[in-house]
A and B are shown apart, each in its own frame.
Chain A
């Protein structure tokens, strides 16, 4: 996937305003983008009335993302600029310090695959990968994600080719309503690399014996997937899907179409 430029170019009007207000900072802004300290300074100007008419333009500049997410319409108390990569694309967001990564993904970037189940770390529906490791986006403040590489369910497939874990979930009917599924799949994808790295779990027979990779029993898969709750109870099929991707042997598909085909 092609990278977007990390920061937008300035329009003439924006450049003029910044030149007037912050001549010293302009070159830095052009090369590395608007940073928190610039923002705070601009907010000070707003407070003293200096910005007046140009303010809207500045606000839009600060809020602008390279992929055209709509800018927030008003000045932000405690706004934080975050440059990060999401599903292979550079993003530059101005967020409220209170905004979680989950809300930023869903509300600002229209990446609604990650789900809000509980919003309190108790269900795993919001699981995404940050720098390759699975985390809960509902307890991650977006502001903390500067320079991070985020992968959501939308970023797993290669074009029209599903990620093997996605294909296995379909084959094994690893869901009913599907609400927990994006989190389950992201979690399961990370689980594969944890097993490859030889990471242990509470049910690992002997944690003293570090070795890689580990072969996952069903008990291991269940324990390691316990952070993802499924209210439909699709657990046995989820375990089958993971076993298939983890092992080399195909696991028998549990369902078929009414005409007997699979």
Chain B
């Protein structure tokens, strides 16, 4: 690891000022992603500002929903009563990720900022536009089994690995950030992460020094019918090949509202808006779920080695919607 200066921030303004003043500085949350990438020399910040002691760890009711502190751990968030009862989709998604040890360390702010697991990105001897702009994309014509089927560019075909973020995308979360001179702003979740375009080095729209302070979840009536389905190469402690966050509200058997977001398929959580539009107002039947999934995946652009993801995503969407219909109980029947 290269040398870096370490400090603990006592208040958000200090943290923001330090990181804004030094382009080489980074906030340090649980360190589960950043420390790993520093060991691999993929990232080499000259300064780390530890934000885990900031008082941003609460999870509380607001006028319009629930606010989740950015430095609350993933474990605490998934297990908080407000989240389990009102946003079980988020609990399920968080619990589908990593291991208990990692979730005990990982912060919510850090989770949103975790970087891709593209193996070319991790290997400093390989070309990678995300790690080193202009060096080329090793995966585009390389081994791209785990890569994107939606929204990629010639510059980068990586997928964004977070499970938590897939649920946040489905739940229309809002990210609260604080910048220099106490400049606060909010970012709609759909606008938080980016597609790679010509600037894959930018994962999201945060500016240097901007600190995530909380994530807000608007009130919804999905609690009784939501499901997070994760498909991976071993049954636990592995990143998703494809994952689906699905949530429904019904009037009789007619779909009043539906939210579907996919993980493992794009550079950001992929809102399946085609499928959502297709389903709204229709009967909640398996045939309709299937047809909606077909419609969504029509637009997929798989790469050389990941064509399987198209069929997998179709099935996964259908299964996740069925899981939601079965009340979000783990272990799908039928």
Question: Chain A: residues with CB nearer than 8 A to chain B?
Answer: 36, 77-78, 80, 97-98, 100, 119-121, 124, 127, 133-136, 139-141, 143-144, 146, 187, 190-191, 194, 197-208, 210, 222-224, 226-229
Contacts and interface: CB of A to CB of B under 8 A. Distances in A.
B308 interface: no
Contacts of A187: 100-101
B4 A78 contact: yes
Interface stretch (B85-93, B123-131, B149-157, B265-273): B85-93
Nearest to A186: B101
A210 B84 contact: yes
Contacts, number: 127
A247 to B, nearest CB: 20
Nearest to A80: B6
14 contacts: A97-B6, A98-B3, A98-B4, A136-B102, A136-B105, A139-B31, A141-B48, A200-B78, A201-B95, A202-B92, A206-B328, A207-B328, A208-B88, A227-B100
Contacts of A197: 79
A205 B92 CA distance: 11
A159 B114 CA distance: 42
B253 interface: no
B252 interface: no
A144 B330 contact: no
Report whether over half of chain B's contact residues are helix, strand or loop; otherwise say mixed: mixed
B81 interface: yes
A208 B328 contact: yes
Contacts of A134: 100-101, 104
B223 A208 contact: yes
A141 B100 contact: no
B81 A210 contact: yes
B95 A139 contact: no
B52 A136 contact: no
B28 interface: yes
Interface of B: 1, 3-8, 28, 30-32, 35-36, 39-40, 48, 50, 52, 75, 78-79, 81, 84-85, 88, 91-92, 95-96, 98-102, 104-105, 223, 230, 235-237, 327-331
Nearest to B94: A202
A103 to B, nearest CB: 11
Count chain A CB atoms within 10 A of each CB in B30, B230, B236, B328 and give the residue with the most.
B236
A133 B1 contact: no
Contacts of B85: 208, 210
A100 B92 CA distance: 31
B102 A227 contact: yes
A36 B98 CA distance: 34
